Amino acid sequence: MTAIALRPPQVVMRLQRLGAAHPTRLSFLRQLIRRAAKERWRVRKERFELDDHGFGRAVYAVETPGRIYSLVAFSTPLDDDKRSDRVIAQAWDTSYVLYDGLPDAAEIARLEENAPLQEAGRFTNRELVLARANKSVRLFEAVAAALAQGRQPVEEQLLGVGYLLRTTAVYGNGKFGIADRDEIASRPELSGSFQAEMLTIWLIRSFTLDLVDHIAHRRNPTGAARLAPDLRRALGVGNATGLGMAPFLVRHPLLTHSWFLARETALARVRAEPHAGEAERKAFSGALADLRQRVARWHSDDIRQSAATRSLADDLDTLAENLDHLLTKPRPWDALYRFAEEQFSLEGQEACVALILEPHGALIDELGETMKADETPGHAIDGSMSCGTLRQAILDCYSWATSIDFAGPAANARFWYVSAEKLEPRLGERFEEDGAELEQPLATARDAINLAAALAQGPASSRVAEFLLRRPEWRHAVRRAQIVASFPYAEIHDNLIAADLRPVDILRAKLAFFGARSFDPRSDRWLRIALFGGEPLIEDVASTAPDGEAA
């Protein structure tokens, strides 16, 4: 079988395409769901101690082959004027800890004092993930009221939003005193990218649904309805994500490369398949029908996203009309991809990538194990490389940037800095705001091109080590240029300080790898999404312990 080349970085890593990314079966939450089902994880509701208004605490325990993990959840009163999606908020409707093991009463009491404080709390290495979430107030109350009256909520309203609670932060990897990544990286069930965070959100989803059922039942103990199973499975957990996450794909080049390389390798493998079997055809048709339903419910007030979603709906209609013909061609999945590439919008093309991968788990799922990278030691600079070799590597890898005039105001309009208040990345306007002297090294294209110019001022035969002895300010750019030369998907192929930069494009790319759907930009700097919507509930995948109750 003749191999098909991977899509090159100059196609894949453009911001407009990144801003059209869709989740795939390699997304991190899908990897977690498959492992839980394969290993028959066991789940039980260990505690559920909530009052008539839904305030109190709950513990959901998950038993994997090697360990038990517990979601410890706290629901507390919150005035409407204090409810905010912003990271600078100080109070939340609910707060959570993913705990390593099963907490006893003393540990729960300790967590109850600290988890609602979030960053201001005190934590130990028994806490693996720290999270908080707010109610989607009008929808949550509408659902609780309907259930309390013995009826189901309005499906169109419910699925148009897609969630009842929306997380405003999910912290892992040692933040605020919780366990460092190194402490769990060797555990099979958590070794993949963001698996502890995905497990936390999966469990929060079940707590959310149980919470609204509980409140409805307490309002009407004899006549309340439970949320229907199909609606429970349709709902996910919302998330509000802003600039704080945007630089992640820039700051973690090795990890970024591993994610995109795995997806592009998967796509190339599937496109090279000579035939489409009956099982694969059926799975593809089912995935297409499901996506068309999702797109019909995908609403956004953002003008650009609204237009893209309409184009996507048209693209999927066209795909459905031509599917039977395309799948009879030689290399049918390649024919399908090329059809999308020629006729569809970027949104449609990337949706087609996700659909093509869906029926081929046996061929591609093992690539999920490659979607990680050890970045803790950093990347050692090769000081023995000649300056001429490095300069040529820069001109090759950043050829797309050589025509950009970084001295011009439009190309140099922004600067990234870290907020002193929350230690979160922010984006400043260079010619309108103070603070450019605090700029973070995220203008990768500008720095690479300027580094090439600096290298040209000396002998091509001199060593990089000698150059850096004279010009140590270029260490960050040298390190990155050498990384990008070896790891081609490590770099976004666009100017990250341009006046027309839309950080939400970067955010969407990362969130699609998590498994997010229903992208709803609220500006060019933050968006809302949903996780696990339409995916199995953890209690549907995991076995229920004989002496316990399904979460």
Let me know: does 150 contact 222? Beta carbons within 8 Å. no
pLDDT at 546: 44
Q: pLDDT for 469-496, tens place per residue?
A: 999 999 999 999 999 999 999 999 999 9
Instruction: Flag whether pLDDT at 545 surpasses 50.
Output: no
Angle at 5 between CA 329 and CA 490, to 5 degrees: 135
Here the tokens at position 131 are 């999270």
CA distance 347 to 506: 15
3-state class (DSSP) for residue 372: coil
Number of other CB atoms surrounding residue 402 within 10 Å: 12
Average pLDDT on 296-304 reads: 92
Q: Are 336 and 359 in contact (CB under 8 A)?
A: no
Strands 94-100 and 127-135, bridge-based pairing: antiparallel
Q: Give the position of tokens 């409805």.
A: 216
Closest listed residue to residue 312, CA positions, set 343, 274, 272, 286: 343
Question: Each residue of 183-213: pLDDT tens digit?
Answer: 999 999 999 999 999 999 999 999 999 999 9
What is the C-alpha separation between 214 and 195, in angstroms, rounded?
29
**How far is C-alpha 42 from the geometric centre of its chain's CA atoms?**
26
Q: Contact, 129 vs 204, CB < 8 A?
A: no
Whether the Cβ atoms of residue 551 and residue 43 lie closer than 8 Å to each other: yes
Name residues whose C-beta falls within 8 Å of residue 265's C-beta, 6 or more positions apart in sequence: 6, 364, 367
Q: Which two tokens stand for residue 89?
A: 């908020």
Q: Are 147 and 224 in contact (CB under 8 A)?
A: yes
Q: Is the pLDDT of residue 549 over 70?
A: no
Please list, residue by residue across 102-124, b when 16 or more beta carbons sit within 10 angstroms of its beta carbon and e when fewer do.
Answer: ebeeebbebbbebbbebeebebe
What sign does the dihedral 120-123-128-134 (CA atoms) show?
A: negative
Question: Which is nearest to 405 in space by CA: 437, 449, 454, 442?
Answer: 449
Taking phi over 0 as left and psi of -120 to 50 as alpha, with beta for the rest, 147 belongs to alpha
Pairing between β-strand 527-531 and β-strand 236-241 as defined by DSSP bridges: antiparallel
Q: For the ranges 89-98, 319-328, 407-416, which has the lowest average pLDDT?
A: 89-98
How many other C-beta atoms can be found within 10 angstroms of the C-beta atom of residue 433? 12
Averaged pLDDT, 511-532: 94
* β partners of residue 414: 429
Is the model's pLDDT at 224 over the cut of 70?
A: yes
The pLDDT-based confidence of 516 (bands split at 50, 70, 90) is very high
Q: Is the pLDDT of residue 40 over 60?
A: yes
User: Is the pLDDT higher at 376 or at 243?
Assistant: 243
Which tens digit of pLDDT belongs to each residue from 73-93? 999 997 776 666 555 556 789
Query: Which of 134-148, 260-274, 282-296, 417-431 comes out lowest in average pLDDT?
Result: 417-431
pLDDT at 81: 67
Facing residues of 386 across strands?
Answer: 463
Question: Three-class SS string for 17-37?
Answer: HHCCCCCCCCCHHHHHHHHHH
- For the chain, which residues make up each domain, given as ranges? 40-242+532-544, 257-371+507-515
Nearby residues of 78 by Cβ (< 8 Å), 6 or more positions away: 91, 92, 93, 134
pLDDT tier for residue 119 given thresholds of 50, 70 and 90: confident
Rounded to whole angstroms, how far apart are CA atoms 483 and 481?
5
User: Does residue 505 surpass a pLDDT of 60?
Assistant: yes
The percent of residues above 90 in pLDDT, for the chain, comes to: 85
pLDDT band of residue 551 (cuts 50, 70, 90) is: very low
Query: Residue 260 is inside which H or E element, if any?
Result: helix 253-271
Tell me the H-state helices in 344-463: 346-357, 361-364, 387-397, 444-455
Gap between the Cα atoms of 530 and 518, Å rounded: 6
For the chain, give the number of residues: 551
Give pLDDT, residue 84: 63
pLDDT of residue 1: 58
Q: What is the DSSP letter of 370?
A: G
pTM of the model: 0.94
Beta carbons of 21 and 512 less than 8 angstroms apart: yes
Beta strand ranges found along 182-271 (DSSP E): 236-241
